[in-house]
Amino acid sequence: MGTKLKCYVDVMALHNEVTGSCNFLVVKIPAVNETFRIAVDCGLFQEKENDELNHHFPFDAEKIDCVLVTHNHVDHTGRLPLLVKKGYRGQILCTPATKTLMPLALADSCKVLKDTAKRNNKRQLYGEVDVQETIALLEEVDYGKTKKINSYIKATFFPNGHLLGAALILLQIQYENEEPINLLFTGDYNNRNMFFDVPKLPDWVKKLPVTIIQESTYGNMNSDEIVPCFKENVTKKMADGGTIIIPVFSLGRSQEVLKILRDMQDSGELDRSIPIYFDGKLAIKYTHIYLKDGFGLKGFSTDFLPHDVVYVDDDIRDKVLHSTETKIIVTTSGAGTYGPAPLYFQKFVGDSKTLIHFTGFLFEGSLGRMLKEKPVGDFVKISGMLFKKYAEVQYTSEFSAHAKADEMIDFLNQFTDLKAVLVNHGESDVKDLFAEKIVAETQAKNVAVLDRSYFFRISPWGIVRPLATKFI
């Protein structure tokens, strides 16, 4: 059947689960005997058991024609330098904000990879030179402006609330006057952001006959299942006196938590005399970018820092660690494993007047997961040393940067001619569950789950059929 088509795309996802995001597309135009290879995202696998996957691509990096990036999270960008190391020299398209943020993330990722490789006596995935060469290939595309990749393919980026600079990417593939193939990649998706307004998609996009490559991280949870508790836990602990440690991701979550604390100061829920410390080199650098101008995003608020917030560096950290005053410490990393967080845990985990409040996903094997699960009075191992846990440990998912199942269904239902939905970026059982929900609750004519076992052939009329990966 494929040979009769004048134009088609074979799509697969390299990631079976929620990290290592990379969608690989082979665009075929038999009429002119042309083939184009495209990658949408090129992320690092972060699960320990998937580490070996990081070293290989199931395609020849030199033969990729174009790379597009949805957003600056390392599970979507962290293998770009490896792609370049293996010979990729084409453009890497992203939004202006992503272009500004990515050098910081890749430099940090490179440092983490270097430390891990040294510790485990393994070869390093890539080095600083590869990062520099990757940054030189970044090319910015403004939201809403259509970028022509070649005579047959064009791309348009649209705002996405997941993260500063995040985009939904529309790829349009067309051979002469044939029907076009429209593919919309959600990347990680959120319908709102605490820092800027997320405009609706233009009508012309919603009317397209479209195939959507849809993330599904929270495909098993509805938005009304999230019960906010952060403010309440913080005010309660402040009233008792003690130390509050808030582990945060460097980008997005740091700035959101600072903004909430500022709002609490302004509303009188948080006494302005209680010192707020902010620790984490990368998080502080990102915060300076947030404080500049918001990249012209509508409604962007640059006035979010808590009053009298103190940036912590190596010189004053000791003072913070040894102070007995009531205080709030916002520190990286989000799951507690990296950055200065373990230093604060060592000092305060044995203190029953301390609250450690996690604000983001605690992956299996992280220090945060262990702290959350160990009962009070048990030993916890932090950086090789044992401590008895007496601190209160709380967790909230109210800050999540991903839309929930009901919100993703609403997103899909905006499209009036939904040809197909390919579900990616979720735990495998969640992807299946969410795919069933899409079948039941949208008009999508074809629904399939992407992983690295299949290519799906997409014609202008939607999915044609799955093909085994040996097709590569």
The nearer residue to Zn ion, 329 or 423, going by C-beta atoms, is 423
The least distance separating Zn ion from the CB of residue 74, rounded to whole angstroms, comes to 9
The nearer residue to Zn ion, 249 or 434, going by C-beta atoms, is 249
The least distance separating Zn ion from the CB of residue 37, rounded to whole angstroms, comes to 24
| Integer Cα distance of 74 and 66 in angstroms | 19
Site for Zn ion in 237-256 (CB under 5 A): none
The nearer residue to Zn ion, 101 or 418, going by C-beta atoms, is 101
The least distance separating Zn ion from the CB of residue 188, rounded to whole angstroms, comes to 4
The least distance separating Zn ion from the CB of residue 75, rounded to whole angstroms, comes to 7
Part in contact with Zn ion (CB under 5 A); list of ranges 180-188, 248-256, 370-378, 441-449: 180-188
Total residues contacting Zn ion by CB under 5 A comes to: 2
Question: Does 188 contact Zn ion by CB under 5 A?
Answer: yes
Q: Which among 407, 371, 97, 102 has a CA at the least distance from the CA of 247?
A: 371
The nearer residue to Zn ion, 43 or 247, going by C-beta atoms, is 43
Site string for Zn ion, 361-390 (x = CB under 5 A): ------------------------------
The least distance separating Zn ion from the CB of residue 166, rounded to whole angstroms, comes to 7
Site for Zn ion in 334-363 (CB under 5 A): none
Part in contact with Zn ion (CB under 5 A); list of ranges 56-64, 186-194, 338-346, 355-363: 186-194
Part in contact with Zn ion (CB under 5 A); list of ranges 182-190, 370-378, 381-389, 416-424: 182-190
Site string for Zn ion, 425-444 (x = CB under 5 A): --------------------
The nearer residue to Zn ion, 14 or 61, going by C-beta atoms, is 14
The nearer residue to Zn ion, 194 or 467, going by C-beta atoms, is 194
Site for Zn ion in 403-422 (CB under 5 A): none
| Integer Cα distance of 190 and 227 in angstroms | 18
The nearer residue to Zn ion, 358 or 456, going by C-beta atoms, is 358
The nearer residue to Zn ion, 23 or 446, going by C-beta atoms, is 23
The least distance separating Zn ion from the CB of residue 241, rounded to whole angstroms, comes to 37
The least distance separating Zn ion from the CB of residue 470, rounded to whole angstroms, comes to 31
The least distance separating Zn ion from the CB of residue 29, rounded to whole angstroms, comes to 32
Part in contact with Zn ion (CB under 5 A); list of ranges 32-40, 141-149, 188-196, 260-268: 188-196
The least distance separating Zn ion from the CB of residue 401, rounded to whole angstroms, comes to 7
Q: What is the 3-state secondary structure (H, E, C) of the chain?
A: CHHHCCCEEEEEECCCCCCCCCEEEEEEEHHHCEEEEEEECCCCCCCHHHHHHHHCCCCCHHHCCEEECCCCCHHHHCCHHHHHHCCCCCCEEECHHHHHHHHHHHHHHHHHHHHHHHHHCCCCCCCHHHHHHHHHHEEECCECCEEECCCCEEEEEEECCCCCCCEEEEEEECCCCCCCEEEEECCCCCCCCCCCCCCCCCHHHHCCCEEEEEECCCCCCCHHHCCCCHHHHHHHHHHHCCEEEEECCCCCHHHHHHHHHHHHHHHCCCCCCCCEEEECHHHHHHHHHHHHCHHHCCCCCCCCCCCCCEEECHHHHHHHHHCCCCEEEEECCCCCCCCCHHHHHHHHCCCCCEEEEECCCCCCCCHHHHHHHCCCCCEEEECCEEEECCCEEEECCCCCCCCCHHHHHHHHCCCCCEEEEEEECCCHHHHHHHHHHHHHHCCCCEEEECCCCEEEEEECCEEEEEEEHHHC
Site for Zn ion in 38-97 (CB under 5 A): 73
Site of interaction with Zn ion (CB under 5 A): 73, 188
